[in-house]
Each structure stands twice: as structure tokens, then as C-alpha cells.
Amino acid sequence: MDAIHDLGGMQGFGPIPIATGDKDFAALADWEKRMWGLARSGVAQGVTIDWFRHGLERMVPSDYLSFAYFNKWCANYLMLMLDHGSITLEDVKRGHLLAKEAEAAPKSIDDVLASNAQANISFEGACDTPPAFAAGDAVRTLRIPPPGAHTRLPRYARGVEGRILAHHGAHAVPERGAEGKKDYQALYTVAFSAADLWGPEADPRDDVTLDLWEAYLVPA
């Protein structure tokens, strides 16, 4: 959906907040570090990467633009836990559960480093259809993305002609992942000239690449 998260190319923003936004992880506020630790711990159950992303996309738009990054994550994790049924809105308002469950077993630093080393998961899968495009092919993106509440075809790159740089095999389709389903489809890196994306104001030397699923593309 064309929601608030789709920021690429939007105009009106000011300078990049470099000086205020350059802290190392260790220098972040405690609540930010806790939020990241909770996220890595997997407190939202039954979540796919695209349902997680779509959850962020469905935030109250003004909150999406004004909240600090990990404050958005906090809202989204609470939403995901509510949606899953792990907690209720009354629990959130109370800040505690009425009946506590058995404590989870604590993990050590070695445990979590081992978990991290196994988190390099692949999103590739089987697809019966051979890829429709090959490197060098000219393609055009759709003006209207395929059906589904969640898409990874940004507004700024719709209805534009580009060139296939690489084929990456079949990857999990985000539209279906956000619905809790698994489907795999050819994924390509596609290069677009800056001029085709932004018009004559763009620098003719430059280009932008996006990683796009086959359903987003037609032959040019």
C-alpha cells in the first residue's frame, strides 16, 4: 500500500541529521538498547519479516514520521504481540499481566552470539517457473503494484524503464509473506538511470538500483 513509510524521493526534508545521529550502539539511550535486545530475543511470536515490516507501515502516520526509530519498533512489537494474542490492550494499559507465567531460561553472551551466527537465513526457495529475464534485459516496472496490502515496489520507481543487472534466484514474495504465506519468485537487481527516475534535474552520470520481484516487471 502507498503508506507513510514509502519515503524514497519525497521532497521537503531538511539536512541529514548527521551530527545528532551518529552514535555507536553503546552510546544509545538505555531504552533504545533494551528495545533492540528485546527485538533480537524474538518476543513477537509467529511473525514473518514482511508482516513485521507491514506492521510498521500501518503505524499512525504522524507517529511514523515523528517517533525515534526504536520507539517505532516498540509500538510495532506491542502491536504484533496484541495481534498474536500474547497480550491484551488491558495488559498494556496496566503495564503488567494479571497472571505471570514461568520465567524464560536466561541466555548468556555466548548463547546469543551463537544465535546471531545462525541468523544468516536464506530467503531463497523453490519456484517452478523459469526466470523471465536475464542480465542486460530492458524492463519496465508496473505503475500499480500487484495485489496485496504490502509491497516492496516503491512509488518512485513505478512505471519506469530499467535494465536487469542480476538475477538472484527465487526469493520469498513480500506480498505473500505479509499474509503469512510462502511463495517464491525470481528476484532481480534492476538499474534505473537517475534521469529516468527524476527527469532532467538528475545527474546523467548516476543511477539507482532496486531489488525487484518478477511480478513487478514487464518487458520494456
Partner 1 sequence: MATFDSENAAHLHRELHSHLPSDPALRVKTLESLAIERGLVAPQTVDAWVEAYSEHIGPKRGAQVVARAWLDADFHARLLEDAAEAIKDLGFQGSATGHLKAVANTDRQHNMVVCTLCSCYPFSILGMSPSWYKSAEYRARAVREPRQVLSEFGVALADDVAVRVWDSTAELRYLVVPQRPAGTQGWSEEALAAIVTRNSMIGTQRDLPLEAS
Residues of span 76-135 touching partner 1 by CB under 8 A:
77-87, 89, 91-93, 95-97, 100-109, 111-113, 116-124
5 belongs to the binding site for partner 1 (CB under 8 A): yes
**Measured between alpha carbons, how far is 79 from 51 in angstroms, rounded to an integer?**
11
Q: What is the DSSP letter of 201?
A: T
Binders of partner 1 among 7-36, rule CB under 8 A?
Answer: 7-11, 13-18, 20-26, 28-36
HSE-CB at 43 with a 13 A cutoff on CA atoms is 16
User: Could you say which DSSP state residue 166 is in?
Assistant: E
Instruction: Tell me which amino acid residue 211 is.
Output: D
The least distance separating partner 1 from the CB of residue 2, rounded to whole angstroms, comes to 12
Contact mark string toward partner 1, 176..205, x via CB under 8 A: --xxx------x-x-x-----xx---xx-x
Nearer to partner 1, 137 or 148 (CB): 148
Cell numbers describing residue 184:
517464491
Using rule CB under 8 A, residue 152 touches partner 1: yes
142 touching partner 1, by CB under 8 A: no
Q: For the residues of 167-220, what is the DSSP string, one character each?
A: EEEEEE-HHHHTTT---EEEEEEEEEEHHHHH-TTS-TT-EEEEEEEGGGEEE-
Among 134, 146, 182, 211, which residue interacts with partner 1 (rule: CB under 8 A)?
211
| Centroid of chain to Cα 165 | 22
User: In whole angstroms, how close is the CB of 153 to partner 1 at the nearest point?
Assistant: 8
Residue 127 CB, shortest distance to partner 1, in Å, is 14
Q: How far is residue 174's CA from residue 178's CA, in Å, rounded to a whole number?
A: 6
Number of residues that bind partner 1 (CB under 8 A): 127
